[in-house]
Chains A and B, each alone.
Chain A
Amino acid sequence: MRTFIFFLVAALFGLLIFVTLRYFDNEYYFFAGYVVVQFVVLATAWNILGGYCGYVNFGSAAFFAAGAYSSVALHKFDPTKWMPSIFGLEIPLDFLAPLFPLPIPVLIVFGGVVSGFIGFGTGYLTLRLRGAFFAIATLALAVVLQTLVINWDFVGGARGAYIIRPATAAIFGSYIHYLFLLMLSLAVIAVGIARMIERSRLGYGFACIRDDELAAEASGVPTLKLKLIATTISGGLMGMAGAPFPYYIGYVEPGSAFGLAYTVNSIAMPMIGGTTSWIGPLIGAILLGTVQQVATVTISSAVNLLIVGVLLVVFVIVAPNGIVGLVQQRFREREK
């Protein structure tokens, strides 16, 4: 029941943001807002594995790009030109043609499934790796996936792929309004899932894994299974955040889809906001994302990562548990 109310309030809040932005009647706010909200999803997704379970993922960009490229692949896919043959029997796919191009919500689900599978696979292969070794493995995953995409001609390879988005969308008018609302809904869902996990049996299990895996097993927590659940959910949400990306940006190439900014931001945002609760990544993403967007138009787009770096250093020293940790500490001190 509480979860339902939370979803309701979050959805209303999202709607409020949307209506307010429409009121200003400036397309740019939607372009900037999309990026901020996208980072809310990425940071929240990262935090499910990195914050709750304590497994630092350096491969966020890979999951994001997997979602983006699954959209590109589906966008390029033409059922009338492709005929799969099974045991020499050719199956025409013409009947699928009216469904294409697929609507973006379907692409989001598809991207989520693809990245979820990659998350599951990564989890399965790295089950016994802990700490720095897990982080290195995820970093390697990003490199491997990027190499694969560079050499996959169908989605443009190293040349990249152009996705011409329609100028308008039904009901919404402007297409970017539609994209923004989709990403906003995704953020509501992601934050809702994170909160749900946090207060559930699963959340307790994740926290045990973060604190002490040996003691967790001794208390009956199936650590391997829970880790797989975490990598799958986390990866899936990142893929969902990446799926609409080609339509937003218009041109995707491996260098931008696998950009360092995604990896760094999805780690830095939860760290700055606080990793132990759902609200941490939300605060971090809104704060850092907005600062970056403002810096892009006022100073330069190149200064973004510098800001992230400086803020991260400051927070590691001043508030190692993020903004949420800082507030909690204050409360605890007052209690004493």
Chain B
Amino acid sequence: MPLLEVENLSKRFGGFVALDGVNLSVKEGERLGLIGPNGSGKSTLVNCICGTLHNESGSVRFEGHKLDGLAPHRRTRLGIARSFQLPRPFASMSVSENVRVPLLYTVNARAGAKIAGAAVGERCMELLRLVGLDHKAKKWPQDLTQVEMRKLELARAMAAEPKLLIADEAMAGLSHSEIDDILVLLQRLNERGVTIILIEHIMRAVMSFSERVVVLVSGKKIADTTPERVIRDPEVERAYLGQ
């Protein structure tokens, strides 16, 4: 059984069809790249998977559960975490408190062992160490640089102990070495058993990271294959470069 199964998903905004019958299946432990030109529906697809938007037709299944109509926080608790395209830190909280929220509301909301007391603080530091932000734990988000903000975004998503992490353009606007930083980070998470969907415009990152690449063009999936094949696909080339 695939971890995530998107079936015939459609979403319209008024007369504009953002997603048109998209099918997608993601296996456990997979690294999937999702690419497409601007406005092709990548973020809409993510929003439909995470519950921020509700799809009109089709369905999303996660570990066999039907997710349609479920509120975003319930999906997070089931194990879908995301980072936002533009970092959205909780501005009035310190960096470590930012990471604390998913621990309190997602990890502790699940059945099983709860973490409490000093263990919460330790787990926060552990997560921040993982992304290399431990020295900024007591700082406020406004004091962070762009890369650090994106790392915080990933740390917060990881704090929810997800099975599936959707990184929505986690590297946009970063320099070469900063992109490598994030890639190493995502690679490490994947080795821990987290399935990752990477949405990115930076082809170098997508090609080196993904095991499989899905291409969306104006709401339709036009390719779903290995990275090597995708760059040679004439239809993908046409979508990106025009004819």
Contacts and interface: CB of A to CB of B under 8 A. Distances in A.
A222 interface: yes
For chain A, which range describes its interface: under 10, 10 to 19, 20 to 34, or 35 or more residues?
A: 20 to 34
B88 A220 contact: no
A220 B92 contact: no
B160 interface: yes
A293 interface: no
Contacts of A217: 51-52, 71-73, 76
Nearest to A335: B138
A210 B101 CA distance: 13
Contact of A212 (B71, B73, B88): B88
B92 A207 contact: yes
B96 to A, nearest CB: 12
Contact of A218 (B72, B100, B109): B72
A204 B99 CA distance: 11
Given A201-B104, A204-B101, A223-B73, A218 B81 contact: yes
Interface in B33-78: 50-52, 71-73, 76-77
Contacts of A204: 93, 97, 100-101, 104-105
Nearest to B159: A219
B71 A224 contact: yes
Nearest to B110: A220
Interface string B159-184: 11000000000000000000000000
B219 interface: no
A205 B105 contact: yes
B102 A219 contact: yes
A220 B82 contact: no
B106 interface: yes
Nearest to B81: A218
A276 interface: yes
Contacts of B150: none
Given A201-B105, A204-B100, A208-B101, A221 B73 contact: yes
B111 interface: no
A334 to B, nearest CB: 15
A135 B97 CA distance: 29
Given A217-B52, A219-B76, A207 B84 contact: no
A212 B76 contact: no
A220 B101 CA distance: 8
B76 A215 contact: no
Interface string A192-225: 0000000001001101101110111111111110
B100 A220 contact: no
Nearest to A211: B90
Contacts of B72: 214, 217-218
Contacts of A207: 90, 92-93
A220 B73 contact: yes
B130 to A, nearest CB: 17
A276 B94 CA distance: 14
User: In the complex, which of the residues B51, B71, B157 has the most CB atoms of chain A within 10 Å of its own CB atom?
Assistant: B71
Contact of B76 (A205, A218, A224, A276): A218
Contacts of B102: 219-220
B201 to A, nearest CB: 22
A219 B77 contact: no
A83 to B, nearest CB: 47
Contacts of A218: 50, 52, 72-73, 76, 81-82, 84, 157
A80 B100 CA distance: 58
A212 B86 CA distance: 12
Nearest to B156: A219
12 contacts: A205-B104, A208-B101, A212-B89, A214-B88, A215-B84, A216-B101, A217-B71, A217-B73, A218-B84, A219-B102, A219-B106, A220-B76
Which 9 A-B pairs give the minimum distances between C-beta atoms? A220-B106, A217-B72, A211-B90, A220-B105, A215-B88, A220-B76, A219-B102, A219-B101, A221-B105
Interface of A: 201, 204-205, 207-208, 210-212, 214-224, 276
